[in-house]
Amino acid sequence: MKNENTETTQEDATDKSTVSGRVQRLVSFNFYDGGFWVRLFGVGVSVVNKERHLPLFSERNGHRKILRLGKWGFEFIS
């Protein structure tokens, strides 16, 4: 009877660790000098201070779409 109880608790512990792993992947973020990005459920937004970071090649040539509001650049990320 005790063996069955220990097996059940080990399975419960395994289930809890996979659930916490999934929660960590649902929300991601990073802050850096001059900007940050946030991702929820795989979709996110990147915000960059354009006074500190010059446009990248792909931005200058129109391969990436950036919304500029004042000194900030906003981009949707997937």
| Average pLDDT taken over every residue of the chain | 79
Per the structure, the count of domains in the chain is 1
Higher pLDDT, 55 or 8: 55
- The reported pLDDT for the residue numbered 6 is 47
Judge contact between 50 and 71, C-beta under 8 A.
yes
Indicate the pTM of the whole model: 0.62
Note the Cα 62 to chain centre separation in Å.
Answer: 24
Which of 25, 70, 24, 67 lies closest to 46 in space, CA to CA?
67
Check residue 70 and give its pLDDT.
94
Q: Which domain holds residue 54?
A: 2-77
- Provide the pLDDT for residue 4: 52
